[in-house]
Each structure stands twice: as structure tokens, then as C-alpha cells.
Structure 1
Amino acid sequence: MQRRVKDGEVVTGRDILEPAFAVVFTAAQRVLAIDLYDVQLLSGLALARGTIAEMQTGEGKTFAALLPAYLHALAGDGVHVMTVNAYLAKRDFEQIAPVYRLLGLSVGLIEADIPPDAKRNAYASDITYGPGYEFGFDYLRDQVALISRCKPRLGDSFRARQRGQSLDRSESMQRGQAVAIVDETDSVMLDEATTPLVLAAGGDVPAANAEVYVAALRKSEQFEINRHFVIDEAASTLRLTSCAIEQLSDRQNETPRRGLDRSWTMYVEQALRAERLFRRDVDYVVDDDTLRLVDQYTGRIFTDRSWADGLHQAVQAKEGITITTENKSIARITRQRYLRLYKHLCGMTGTAQGGERELRSVYGLRVAIIPPHKPCQRRMLPMRVYADLAIKEKAIVEELVKIHRTGQPVLVGTAAIDTSQRLARHLDERGVSYQLLNGKQDAEEADIVAEAGQLGTVTIATNMAGRGTDIKLGQGVRELGGLHVVATEPQESTRVDRQLFGRAARQGDPGSCQRFASSDDELFARYAPSLSARIQRLADTHGQCQMELEHDVAALQHRVEGTRAYQRRQLFAHDDWLESVLRDLT
């Protein structure tokens, strides 16, 4: 088959595709002792032909990726299989690599802390596994290396070709962007697309101008809302008023004379943002004198990310921890632009619906809906709405205690780490044992989530904890109704809600889900204050609102998703414009 592909046959033609799928099917039987389902074969076909396959959670996307990866590897240009984090990349690599090796293909794994030579070897493999962001950062590193390399003298390129050498790619880790298979496509291509990939240096040592950020914090504490600054809650933005700008520009004002890398006004503005817009255990955590960012969509804690333009240092000053130097940007690229570099792009997820238009317009990808292997038996219980947070959390705890007494396992999904911690304290007071996950994505977390379906288990985690981990039901759990999932509040995106609910009732198992909400949930408080007031007005003497609000919440989520999509389009349009300007200049 490799010889025929090199001779010009198309890999997606029936004469190549059918025997390729057949040998993969047989290899999976021999190595993994599994028979690929019809729906996995159908998903593999969709991926092979360059679409996004929406498979229900628990349907085995890892195995479905085997098929297109092998098929396109026959061309010899390299296939990149991208996962959402390093743990899943390593897990899938270790599980699937023996299948590829039986089929005569080489397979590699890229990790952040391996040396460049090891990465080059991984990229030289027929198939390479790794976290999606690491592929992007390696691309940026290659571009920086190419630009910084000395310009060859006249005739050097000709002599190198005569000797069978290359001046262009000798130091590059990657050998090009041929084929990419993206796992959890909606998370990577949509949710995370508002954050470009930025290669930066610095940020690891104490800042020499730390007193500037502290002075800005003290100055910001003197400012009053609506007089010196205004906040747009819906857009999460803050800006200074003319009154504040005049006050900060006054020469009689005490302004630091040294250590300023930007205007004094910007330092104070960032200090206000740190104080007013960013919350501990929601947007970030402090771990051993170190500031760690929390992903707003997944609840994961990042150890290698920081805010730009002095915001990171402003938050450090607010928390009273060591203020580090600002990162200096070396290179950047939007995720949209990077993924569009691939000649063949495809992906898979459990929640692509709702993002079809954007996936089509930005990436040129259609969505193929793959039917479930077995009929879904998930029961969706009515949403319960309460007047305020305290009443809602009390009701959640009462519900957890009641279910726990029956032995039915419960998975509680929260939007923020501080919510998880509060619920854990309430359960401690009631004497209910539980497992608490803190936003890290590693093997330990996956093991805990995998056990969430055992009899009598209560697991509290941020919404995306354990994404990609299969939850098996313990003995006797099916008779109790399977795993029950509790969402502590509706999310900005319906796709995040659906991912959480997809933890229950997998592969035809029974399961149930229920959402709780209150008037001060962030979705309502930020984007629909009128709905928040309505909930408070309609609450009964027990603090519960008996009104049906499912339609209102869905409409609000749809509106917010539209706003987020617009922001991503603006970012992509700006990047497109910048690229065209640079192209014209060169």
C-alpha cells in the first residue's frame, strides 16, 4: 500500500482505504484484543476524509483515530495526533503504539521537557502523539530558529544541494504540517482559540522593579468605581475615566521614577483589573508562593502560563507573593492560523454541535454526526433554581446526602475550584466521604475519575476533570440507576454542560443528570441581570423558584456563545490582517 501511494494512488480511494482499515482492524484484534465497533469504523472514515466526527462520550475515540492515522501515514509525510493535555497524549501513545509497530510504522511521543534531538526523532516517526499546544510551540521554536540563523552567503544553497544537504530544515524539529488529527476538537478549535500560542522568555526570577507594581496597587486602592474607573461585567473589561487619567498624569502626583516599562497609568489600570476582575480559586490559584492560572472553560490549573502586559505581576502584588519578571514575547500564532497550516485537518469530539458554522467558516471542516453504539439511557432531571448561592449549595448538599445513602455514585461538576472546596467542607460537616479533584490533569486524577462509578462514591471536580477517562460502573450500580451527575451551575457554553453530562450513561449504561442554578450564578449575574432579579422575585418562602427556566437558560447560553464566537472571529481577522501586512513588508 505504501508503494502504491508513493506511485500516486489517493489514500482515501477505496482501493487503499478498505484494505488499510482491514489491516488496522485485524491488528487491533491481535494486539488489544478488541473488535472495533461499526461506529468507530464510521468515525475513522469521517476523519480520513477530512471532517469532524462527533462521537458520543465513551464511544472510544482513541481507537477510532487508529484508522485515519495509519491510512495517512502511508504517504510518509508524518501524522500528528493532538490531544488536549500531556497525560492523555502519553496514555494514548502507550496504548496504541504496539498496534502501529505491528503494522510496520514508527510512532513517537513529544513531551515538553525532552531535549530537541529526542523531539526531532519523535517528529521523524510516521505518527507522532502529543498535546496540541506543544506541536504549536515547537512550530514557533522552529520559526524562531530559522529567522535567527545567519543568512547564507551567495552560492551556499547551491553547494549544499550539490552535496545532498539542506540549509533550510537542518535545525528544525518538525518536518512540516501534513496531517493533524485533533482530539476534543471543540475545546481546541473553539474554546481555546481566543488564546493565541505565545512563545515567551523570562518570568522565572524576581523582578527588579517589584516596587512599581506594589505602588500601583496602593494607588489603585484610592480609586472609586464609576468616578475613577468603570467596569463592564458582561465583557469582563475595566477602563479608567478621564478623571483618573488626569490625576495620574499630574506631575505633582507621586509616580515611581525608575523601573517603568510602560506608562504609570497602565500599571494602575492593571492593578485595578487584578483587584476587581480576577478572583483567587476561580481565575487563579496560589501554590507555594507561585501564581497558577486556571482555565475558565475546563477548570484545569496551568503551570506554564502567565498573563501579559504586567497583569500577572499585578495579581502577584495583590496576593503578596514574589513578583517575577514579565515574560517577553518571542513569537506568537493563533491556534486558527496554526491548524490551518495542515494540508489535511480533521478532529473528533463529543460536542461539536452548536459550533458547526464556525468550524466550517474558519477551518473548512464539516461535522459528521456518528450514531451511538448503543441507545443512550441517560435521564435528564428538571433544573432546580434557587434565590441565592447559599440556599442552592445547601440544597445540593442535601441531595448528595440523600443519594449517598442509597449507594448510587455521584459526580459533582463545578465551574470553579472555590465552589468545589465549599461543597467539600459542607460534606465534611455531614460526615460524607468524597474524592476532591483540584484541577490538575494527570494520571492520579484519571484514576480517581475512573473510580467515580463505584458503589457509594462521591466525586467533586471541576467540569472537565478526567475528560477522556472511561468511568466503569461498579457491581450493583446499574440496579441503582447508574452514575448520577450534578452540575452546580449552568455554564456559558452548552457544550461544556453536555461534556459533563456525558460522564453518565455511557455505552448504553443507565445514568442521570441534574442542573442546579441560583440568581447569583456568574452566567446570570454577568449576562442577564434581569433574569437574576426575576429568579429572586419568583422564589418561594424556601428560596426555590418553581418556574420553568430551561428555555431561558438555553437562549442565554446561545447568546453568550455567539459573543465568544464573535471575539474569536475578531482575533482571527486581526491576525489575518497582521500576516498580510508582514507579507507586504517582506
Structure 2
Amino acid sequence: MNILNLIFGSKSERDLKRLLPLLHAINAKESWALSLTAEEFPRQTQAFRERLTKGETLDDLIPEAFAVVREAARRTLGERPYDVQLLGALALHHGSIMEMKTGEGKTLSSVSAAYLNSLAGQGVHMVTVNDYLAERDAKWMKPVYDYLGVSVGFVLSSMDPEARQPQYAADITYATNNELGFDYLRDNMRWEMGRKVQRGHAYAIIDEIDSILIDESRTPLIISGPVEDDTAKRFQEVDPLVSFLKECDKDAKTNDYPEEPSLLKGDYKLDEKGKRIMFTDEGMNRIEALLQQNKLIQGSLFVGDNFEFIHYFTQAMRAHKLFHKDVDYVVQDGKVEIVDEFTGRVLHGRRYSEGLHQAIEAKERIRIAEHNKTVATITFQNYFRLYKKLSGMTGTADTEAKEFTKIYNLDVMVVPTNRPVARIDEDDIIYFNEDFKFQAIGEEIIAAHTKGQPVLVGTVSIEKSEKLSNYLVRKGVRHEVLNAKNHAREALIIAEAGAVGAVTIATNMAGRGTDIKLGGNPEFRARRKVASDIDQETWLKVLADETEIWRNEYNRVKELGGLLVIGTERHESRRIDNQLRGRSGRQGDPGRSLFFVSLDDTLMRLFANDNVRSMMGRMGMASGEPLYHPWLTKSLANAQKKVEDRNFEIRKHLLDYDDVLSKQRAFIYEQRDAILTDPDLKARVLIAGKEIIEDRVAAWSKADVMAEFLPEALQAFKEDFFWEPDIALEDLAKLSPAQLRDHMVAYLESDLTNKATEVGEEPLNFFIRAEYLRKIDSLWQEHLDSMEALRDAVYLRTYAQKNPLLEYKVEGFQMFDVLIDEIKSSIAKKLFKIRIQKAPPEPVRRERIPVQTAHLTMGGFANSAQRNERPEAQGEKVTVTRNQPKVGRNDPCPCGSGKKYKLCHGR
């Protein structure tokens, strides 16, 4: 133990000591809250709000506010929050992460913090991982909130915008992280402020915060729409060709590829840790030959569009060699569905990025989905950093404390359990190979099942869960399997996982957010016995009968040692293993956990294999014999730490890049809001027009006399503003550049005034607003594509000894500067060119927001190697007539400089 911990106590102990005076103050107010009548609780809430308006702070209200919540919970739910639950609530209020073990009552603990912060009137968001928990928790805690006189709502994915608005308007709103993020993006695509559903980001409490801010942090939320291209065709053409490529030979002793490129014999190398493919020179030549033989390219692979085939081959190879059916994904109803590596759940609607998903669809011989175009996107990292105050709760956060602090500035406070944890956590049991390991697991399950002890087995994939299930079937052991193929019965399976003799195999998804009660769940059993419209008296009688049966079974399971949790291999993250252990030993119940490991396991094979294998060899262990040793458990923990550190660096690396786009997105959304609320947009247009004139005049002012640049000026102003000279040319020639500028500005002011007079101020403002929003949205979508292409390209600059992140920041800023200039100038030019005629008023244009949303999984970019291909959506097109072909923003500049037009004469 650290000597400082011995002297001063651990950080969590010091945190708790600081909160104890507040806890004592809350307890001192308990008798006062007990004396209040039911009618006085909502009045007390109003009194709290009035005190805030008079200058008191939320901290000033803590003792009384927490006391009334505790009493309201006791009266409505029959549950009085324990002191440790109030300590957790204090941590939440102070913007920290509360680590509270499974079964200790996180949901009830969060109510005090949510209620207190709702008094400020800015709304509180309670964030959950799925719709079921959002609705369940909102309805479960609603009696408490109603008793206190605060409103509560919940948002579900099935709700339309009209249904969402009143839910967000409630004092406290329960919603999933996905819905919150998508609603934020959709709100910033609205054409009317009144149609936005959210009302700001004041305070959020994130349940299972480690899952959302760590596991999900690399997966952007994306709103997109279809775009036509030949991507699907290309993957269909390439897929059958990958079988002709050969993996490079490995050294027989080290099982690694030769470091010297000239010694590589084969077409490609596999990086299983990073899930990457690296082609050798020999491999590139073979790919070129295959494409030429199949008449897919002419000439060199590295010429023109042919180069894109390297991307298609890379993703096709990854699909075949690194992503496996029933491990990384499943095929359901003709679709490839990703399986969450942390929970084992199917992630419906999520797609792999970079075209990998389409490559897997080609591999599985199913319909390849069309390519998409990004309309709006944000990561959870940057969405949740929008909140003025953020907090969260989970049973496993302490192992990721460093990341929470560095990325989110969130402190982790470990809250002690109300009763001591009685679970026994055994050292790992290690075998030489997987077959011996699964045989030992089966024997352990059978031994526990025979005496009636419930068993929960955690596996890392569907494939492994089905392998173990088949073994138990052969042995005649009745059991349940909970994986991505069988998730519909999750509630039933988890409810009975603690029953006498129950055996449950689950792919890491074992009901996060749901307790496994020893002896089973009496309420669940009672509900299965009665009709939904049963009267209260009958329901209570059935529940009492089931509770009596459960109490006997609960005592029997306790005597047998509680729930036995078996891990079939170590996960990459210690946190996921701790979550599995945490299924057992809730609220002081007994329990036992142990992990079986083999040298064939992914973690051992990639990160810890050599040391452990050599040690087992030195100890003379036979293949079928297990090895128990604390050193081995420590070795595994060190391997996990390596992976966690690597994954943290990947997430931080992604965030460094995403922060560049985040700042740009914030500015664009601020500008949209300003345009939506500005009652007089003529001033914006006039400023933009003045800037165009000033830039033109500044460029011409270097000429000695006006006559030298007058023809160019006349042509430019005619193209920009349809301006025809209103004074004689000889008089224009006598003007100085400054006088010409003033003359043109006066013309613009007069033109705007005339337009407003012709059609009215309000219709003109409406027209300008519509044009601004249309232009901002379409150019922003183009900019997202450009930034994505830039992010891919900057990695090549490492060969020129340049910092790719710095290059991305500099060029990204230049591109954004061009974007802002283009928005302003295009609107100004369009408005001054048109001649508006009065017409009958039209109904307000409703925004057309693409309905397709996706929560993508980041792929190769996370490993700094490959292209990020995200769903994309087409912006609205405006038809224009011109004498010369339009030069695209990303086309080469016609001046011959070699630069893109937008970075040269397109500025």
C-alpha cells in the first residue's frame, strides 16, 4: 500500500470525509422533513426556488432538499435512502462520478441530485443506455418527483418531435445517450427556433457512465442520407479476389513476421491487435495483376482512380481475416448487425466505418447497403462536454479514473457499500489450451448445479457461448443462453438467474442495470401468474405468496454460497471483468467468482502468451493440468493494463482531431441560431457586401490610376451585384479607390432599402433567412467531407517529417475560413442580384431533415492507418446558369498553381 495512503487515507476516503459534515446536516433535518404534511412538499419546492432567485445557491439548499427527497422516497416507495446513497448523491451534485457497487441503489441515489439541480429551472437530463431503462427509471421514480412537485418526462426513440418537446420541457428528463445526441443534431438542422425540442445543456447525470464515455466514445452519432456511387459494385468485384492473396510467412520460433522487408515472403501482414492489414510490395503487385486479369483496371494500380482499389482490397481483407461472424457481428434478417464487444448486445442501426460494413456484406453474400453522405455528426465525447455540469454513476469507474479526469475533468469517488461485500474472488485458473479449459468450466458448472447453486457464466462472444451450451446439452444440464441471438428473453432470463439450480450463459451482457436476486425474482413470477388488469387486492395476495416461496429459496441459495460467477476468459478491460464479478455478492449477499484462462485466449495470445507459457513449461505442467498462482493473475492484470493504456491513447488521439471539428461545429450552430432569431438580417447582408467591395478595391488600389483597373472593376461589380453604372464612365474614372468603395456601398444600401419597400421587411427577412440556412447547411455538409478527406491525407505527411495533427489543424482552419467567407459572399451576391416581386404569402417552409441516423463504429482511423468512411447525405441543390463551367471547391485552381481552388483563387 502507498505510504501516503497509510498516513492520509486513500483519495476516496478523503473525499468521503469532506462530505461527512453535509451528511450530518442532512440527517439533522430528517425529523423536520418527517413532520411535513403531503401538501407541504410541493410548497417547499416552490420555497426553494424562491430562495434561489433571492441569491442563495444550490449548495445552501442541500440539507433541506436532500431531507425532503429522503422522506418523499420513504412515503411513496417505502425505501429510505441510506447514508451511503446520500453520499453518492452529493458526489453527483458536485460534478463527480459515483462508483457504487451493483445492487446498492444507484437509481434512487441519483434522485436527490436530480431534484436539487432541477430547482434552478434549466432542466436535468438523466442519461441511460437504452429506452427500456429510460422509461423504467422515469416511471419508477415518478411517485417521488410527483410528491415533491417537480415534473418528470422520458424520451424514447419511437417519439416524434411534437411528443419530445414536452418531455424535454419537464424539470427532469430521462433519455438515452443516443436520443440526446441525435436530438441535438436535429435541432441544429431546424428552420424555426420553435421546432427545437431541447432547451439547453445545464446538467446531466449519466448512468453507466463508463459504458457511454469510455466504451462508446469512439463511435460518432451521424445523421445521413443516400448518395449514388459505385462502392457496392466495387466490393462485389473485389471480394472473390482476396482468396488469391497469401499471408506472409512467420518465424517458426518467435511466431512473428521478419522485420526486414526484403525477407517477407507473401502478400500481406496481419495486425490482430490493431485489426489492420499491411500489404507488401509483392502483395501490391499481385493485386494489380488480379485487377488487370479481371479487366477491372487498365495500366498501373497507382494511376488515377485505380488507386481506390487499394482501399477496397484493404477493407475486403479486414472483413475476411479480422472480423468474424458470431464474434464481431451476426447476420439477422439479411443484415449484418454489429455485436458490442463489451456487452454482447446487437447494436441495431450501427455500421462499421470506412466501407468495412459493405465489405462484410459482400463477404456474407447479402445485399450491400448504399453509400451515404454525412449531414451532421458528433461524438459522445464532444456532446457531453456541452453540459455546464456533468456527473455520472457506475459500478466500475475507478480503473478509468485517469481518463475521466484528463478528458472530461471528472473526478471519481468510490462510495462504500451499505453492507460489507461477502463475495470471494478466486485467483485465475490457467490451462494450456481452450479445450481443456472448457472441459474444466463444464465440470465446475455441473458441480455447482448438482447441489442447487445458481451459476452465471460470462463469455466474450456468441461463438464461445454456443460452444459451452453444446457441452452442457451433451451433459444433460438445463440452462439458459443470453446472447445477441437470444436477447428478446433477457428480462426473463436475468430475473431467474439467481434461482435455485439456475445456469445462465451470457455474453458479457448480463443485465447491466438489472439486479440478479438470489432465489429468483418474486415480483416477476407473480406478474407471470396474473392478468394485466388484475385488481390490487388479488395482486397483493399473489405477490405475498410468491415472496414467501422466494424467501425460502433465498435462504437456501445463501447457504449454498450465493451466486457463482464464472468468466470463461479475461476481457481486454479489467472494468468489464469487474462488471461480471459484480453480478454476484449484491447488498452483502454471499457469492464467488473465478476466471478460467487458456493460452489460446485472445488476450493471452496477443499480450501475455510467451511469459506465461514459458513459466508453465518450467513448472512441468501437463497440458490438461490447471495452474494456480497469484503471479499469473498479476501477469494477466498487467496485460489488461497495457491494452487499456493503448485504447486510452487511441481515444485521446481521436479526440485531438475531433476537437478541431467540434470548434467549427459550435461556431456554425451559433451562427444558425443567430440567423434564426435575428429580426433584421439586412444588416448581415450589407456587411458581407461591404467586405466583398473592400476586398476588390484593396486588390485594385495598387494601380496608379483609376483608368487602369476601371474595366475590371465594372465587370466584377456587374458579376457580383448586377450593378450597372449610374454615373458617366468619365466621372467614374475620376474617383479614387476609396470614393469608388463608398459609391458602391451607397448603392448596396439603396438597393436593400428598395427591396424592403417593394416586398416588406418581414418577407425580405424570411427570404434572407431561408437562403442563409440553405447555404450554411449545404456548405457545412461539403465541409464535413473535406475535413474527413483531409484527416485521411495528413497521415502521409509523416513521411515528410511533419506533425499530422498540426497539419490538420492549420489546413482545417484555412478550409473553415474559406467556408465562412463563401457563406457570407454567396448570400450577399445572390440577394443583390435578384429582383424580388411581390407575391402572395407562402406557408412557412418546413425543414427536411434526413430520417436516417447511424451510430458508427470507428475503425482504421483509430489506429492511424486507414480512411474514415461515414454515411453521407445530399444537401439541397440550387440550379444556376453560367457561361463557364463551375470550378468545384476541391478542383485544381484554373490559375495553374497546383493548389485546390478553395485554397487559392476560390478564397
- Whether these two folds match at TM > 0.5 is yes
Match in the other structure for 1:574: 657
Instruction: Confirm whether residue 183 of structure 1 aligns to residue 266 of structure 2.
Output: no
Identity rate of aligned residues, in percent?
42
Question: Which runs of no fewer than 5 residues in structure 1 stay unpaired?
Answer: 150-166
Task: Give the equivalent residue in structure 2 for 1:216.
Answer: 238
2:224 counterpart (178, 200, 204): 200
Q: Distance in 1 between matches of 2:136 and 2:297?
A: 53
1:39 paired with 2:84, answer: yes
CA contact (8 A) 2:433 2:623 kept: no
- Alpha-carbon distance change, 301 to 515 in structure 1, aligned in 2, over 3 angstroms: same
- Counterpart CA distance in 2 for 1:253 and 1:529 is 42
Contact 2:455/2:566 (<8 A) preserved: yes
Give runs of aligned pairs for residues 448-527 of structure 1, distance below 5 A: 448-474=493-519, 475=553, 476-527=556-607
Q: Is the 8 A contact 2:483 2:509 kept in 1?
A: no
Which secondary structure does the structure 2 equivalent of 1:198 belong to? strand
Is 2:166 the counterpart of 1:121? yes
1:497-517 alpha-carbon deviations (Å, 9 max, x no partner) = 111000101101000001000
- Over 3 Å counting, the alpha-carbon distance change for 1:547 and 1:482 in structure 2 is closer
User: What is the correspondence of 1:64-463 to structure 2 with a 5 Å cutoff?
Assistant: 64-145=109-190, 149=191, 169-202=193-226, 210-226=232-248, 227-249=266-288, 252-254=292-294, 256=296, 263-439=308-484, 444-463=489-508
Deviations 1:430-475 (A, max 9, x none): 0000111123797841332121111000011011320111111111
CA shift in 2, pair 1:271/1:506, >3 Å: same
Q: Verify: 1:3 aligned to 2:55, yes or no.
A: no
Preserved CA contact (<8 Å) 1:359 1:366: yes
CA contact 2:428–2:628 (8 Å) conserved in 1: no
**Partner residue, 1:158:** none
Q: Does residue 1:530 correspond to 2:530, yes or no?
A: no
**Structure 2 counterpart of 1:173, which letter?**
V
CA distance change for structure 1 residues 440 and 200 in 2, over 3 Å: closer, same or farther?
A: farther
| Structure 1 Cα separation of the partners of residues 280 and 179 of structure 2 | 41
SS at structure 2 position matched to 1:564: helix
Larger Rg: 2
- 8 Å contact 1:535–1:545 — kept in the other structure? no
Q: Check conservation: 1:255, 1:264, Cα contact below 8 A.
A: no
TM-score by length of 2: 0.59
Unaligned runs of 5+ in 2: 1-47, 249-265, 299-304, 520-552, 668-812, 821-907
The corresponding residue for 1:57 is: 102
Verify the 8 A CA contact 2:608 2:635 in the aligned structure 1. no
Flag the 1:110–1:535 CA change in 2: closer, same or farther, 3 A.
farther
Deviates more, 1:299-308 or 1:408-417: 299-308
Asked whether the 8 Å contact 1:378–1:513 carries over to 2, the reply is: yes
Matched residues in 2 for 1:121 and 1:65: separation? 22
Answer yes or no: is the 8 Å Cα contact 2:267–2:286 preserved in 1: no
The residue number in structure 2 matching 1:544 is 625
CA 1:440–1:115 in structure 2 vs 1: closer, same or farther (change >3 Å)? farther
Q: What is the TM-score of this pair, normalised by structure 1?
A: 0.91
> Per the alignment, in what secondary structure is the counterpart of residue 43 of structure 1?
helix
- Corresponding residue SS for 2:188: helix
Alpha-carbon distance between aligned partners in 1 of 2:486 and 2:86, rounded to the nearest angstrom: 29
Number of residue pairs matched? 560
Contact 1:386 1:539 in 2 (8 A): no
Offset at 1:338?
0.9
Pairwise CA distance, 1:289: 1.4
Q: 1: distance between equivalents of 2:203 and 2:132? A: 22
CA RMSD of aligned residues (A): 2.3
CA distance in 2, matches of 1:256, 1:4: 75
SS in 2 for 1:72: helix
1:207/1:581 CA distance change after superposition, 3 Å:
closer
Q: Residues of 1 paired with 2:584 and 2:83: CA distance?
A: 22
Distance in 1, Cα, partners of 2:54 & 2:215: 41
Q: AA paired with 2:653?
A: Q
1:148-189 deviation per Cα after TM superposition (whole angstroms, max 9, x unaligned): x4xxxxxxxxxxxxxxxxx6x322121111110001111111
Q: Give the Cα–Cα distance (whole angstroms) in 2 for the partners of residues 207 and 410 of structure 1.
A: 52
Query: Which residue of 2 is the match for residue 163 of structure 1?
Result: none
Q: Distance in 2 between matches of 1:442 and 1:34?
A: 31
